[in-house]
Structure 1
């Protein structure tokens, strides 16, 4: 792999890998750090890599680096710190109900199994189609559908159980 090929791979994949990691950890800085480390490792192994497999390898390396970091840091952060509630003509009870529901939702997202959470967030926040998610995660579309089904089921049963 030449420097030019590496630069092209970096330019084409950095944002997607960073976004994937952000949904797994909820920390923008950590996602950027791990993504940079991932590309550093890719450069170190440049002579052993087939260009046709780079994309899948990047996501696999990113996943492995995230898991390693998670075990070392053992920290969890909120994923939805920027959910806002525009106040219009809502009563204080409506605002309180919304805030309580938002807190439940955020807590449930954090409790959701990691694989389901990543698929759920890529679909609902990024607006990606199942095919796009499958490509990014190197999964079949059916596997993405199954993870989304379980994620939605988890949210549904958890929200109903808490009411």
Structure 2
């Protein structure tokens, strides 16, 4: 598993950290029955490597965006980075407020890359039920970033 992740991320130390993170996630999560555990773990490891590369790319773009250019000042780039961070915090809070089953289905799909069918089979639900849980989770996530931030509301404005 570490070799697979190492090939994807190009660094053995990072791969070791990611595999350890996968183990901790798997250890802490509620029991979900999976038919082919080895295949499931390898897929999760691959997805974790992809997520790591995406976050590294995002981090690099934010850092590059902080360098002043003729079109964008450093202050604007910093403000945008802070707004993105704030949005992520609001999404995390919204996900924590979801019912456990809905949150678990969302994480299996969006973090671990499982299909609705795989989730339905593992959790012994219908695919329609999984779709409904995902719609609820996505609606909550969307609403959490659509609401104005408390610090950005104008005094005296209605909520």
TM-score (norm 1): 0.48
Compare relative contact order (CA 8 Å, sep 6+) and give the higher one, 1 or 2: 1
TM-score (norm 2): 0.49
